Amino acid sequence: MIRAGIIGGAGYTAGELIRILLNHSEVELSFVQSGSSAGKHLWEVHEGIFGETDLTFSEGYDLDSADVLFLCSAHGRSREFWQENVRPEGLRVVDLAQDYRDQSDGYVYGLPELQRTRIASAMKVANPGCFATAIQLSLLPLAAASLLEGDIAVNAVTGSTGAGVKPSATTHFSWRNNNISAYKVFTHQHLLEIDRNLRGLQPENWGSIGFVPLRGDFARGIFATAVLSCPLGEEELTSLYRDFYADASFTFHCPFPVDLKQVVNTNKCLVHAEKHGSKAVITAAIDNLLKGASGQAVQNMNIMFGLDEKAGLRLKSSAF
């Protein structure tokens, strides 16, 4: 059994991670650390797992008791953690924060559809951002074929869980319900990793991404739309996407328009590509807490340990 430890276990992403790992046939939880919830049973914070475990949150942690460590603390805390701790030889790490998405300090960027081979031999993986996952999976086939053209207009709407478990003015139910708003227009932090990776595939001959993030009036999911010039015809565009994702475990080209209910509570990304005149319109849908966070973290762990990539992740969508 793979022994897993979690740092920062009280948030939404950690809750989803715990749920997956408790039902993963190859994993046992060694510890779940939380400074704010130390001493409590996991189910006192993550009530949906009541009856599945009597494990309690720990204040401290023994890194030698784990084979893989998931870092689920706030952005910036991962670097602080490694300033205070030494990684034992052989301990694999999956960081769900943004600290190492620039692939510094030996981390590999953990988007399997982009670099599965590197992940397989990595000791440290930086899990992608949620918006970054949906938008990159929308555009990777075109970038890999050097077919990005001009500026790319992207908008993506996310559920309230994307803002984390701590309440704020824009996550309060009475504000979010029946409401929608834009934020961080053209400045969202995920643009850095999106641009870096797309230009790694196609360095030149295209402009920039104009990304408008939107807050949705729902809890889970991301629905992204990208519009750009494209020289391919409809059939060629469809074939490009279908072939690019033919061997992907969780990302699929969808021949019909996608929606959130097809992916919420799963680790899937569904991508639909169509032509309108000279423009390609690419839509993608993911669950922001699963393929956009904890599900992809487990997918990366599976690849790192040579397991079936789908282990623990055969999940049913909330279609009705």
Q: Determine which one of 130, 230, 254, 269 is catalytic.
A: 130
Range of the structural domain that residue 6 is part of: 2-127+293-304
pLDDT of residue 167: 80
User: In the chain, how many domains are there?
Assistant: 2
Q: What is the pLDDT along the chain (320 residues), one digit of tens a residue?
A: 999 999 999 999 999 999 999 999 999 999 999 999 999 999 999 999 999 999 999 999 999 999 999 999 999 999 999 999 999 999 999 999 999 999 999 999 999 999 999 999 999 999 999 999 999 999 999 999 999 999 999 999 999 999 888 888 888 888 999 999 999 999 999 999 999 999 999 999 999 999 999 999 999 999 999 999 999 999 999 999 999 999 999 999 999 999 999 999 999 999 999 999 999 999 999 999 999 999 999 999 999 999 999 999 999 998 77
Q: Which two tokens stand for residue 25?
A: 């046939």
Q: What is the distance between the alpha carbons of residues 216 and 138, in angstroms, rounded to a whole number?
A: 20
Close Cβ partners of 281 (under 8 Å, ≥ 6 residues apart): 225, 226, 227, 273, 274, 275
Distance CA(192)–CA(101), nearest Å, equals 9
Residues 152, 242: one domain? yes
Residue labelled with tokens 């207009």: 153
3-class SS of residue 42: helix
Is 130 tagged catalytic?
yes
Residue 313 maps to a domain: no
76 & 163 share domain: no
| Together in a domain, 106 and 159 | no
Question: Tell me, what's the pLDDT at 121?
Answer: 98
Flag whether 314 is in a domain.
Answer: no
Asked if 99 and 194 sit in the same domain, the reply is no
217 and 69 part of one domain: no
188, 49: one domain: no
* H helix runs in the chain, sequence order: 12-22, 42-45, 77-84, 112-120, 130-144, 173-176, 191-201, 234-244, 294-304
DSSP string computed for 130-181: HHHHHHHHHHHHHHHTT---EEEEEEEEE-GGGG-SS--TTTSHHHHTT--E
Q: Does a structural domain hold residue 319?
A: no
pLDDT number for residue 100: 98
Distances (CA, A) of 24 to 51, 53, 59: 16, 13, 25
Q: Check if the beta carbon of residue 31 is closer than 8 Å to that of residue 62.
A: yes
Please tell me the total number of residues recorded for the chain in this structure.
Answer: 320
Check whether residue 162 and residue 279 sit in a common domain: yes
Q: How many CB atoms lie within 10 A of CB 198?
A: 22
Looking up residue 65, the CATH number of its domain turns out to be: 3.40.50.720
Whether the Cβ atoms of residue 271 and residue 238 lie closer than 8 Å to each other: no
Residues 6+ apart with CB under 8 A from 194: 131, 132, 135, 136, 209, 211
Is residue 69 located within the same domain as residue 134? no
The confidence score (pLDDT) of residue 292 equals 98
Do 119 and 166 share a structural domain?
no
Q: Is residue 309 part of a domain?
A: no
Pairing verdict, β 150-158 and 222-229 = antiparallel
Handedness of CA 49, 92, 221, 23 (dihedral sign): negative
155 strand-pairing partners = 212, 225
C-alpha torsion sign, points 28, 37, 65, 79:
positive
DSSP class per residue in 184-215: STTT-TTHHHHHHHHHHH--SSEEEEEEEEEE
Are 68 and 24 contained in the same domain? Answer: yes
Provide the CATH number for the domain around residue 153: 3.30.360.10
Q: Are residues 154 and 246 in the same domain?
A: yes
Look up residue 275 and give its two tokens.
């032509």
pLDDT of residue 168: 86
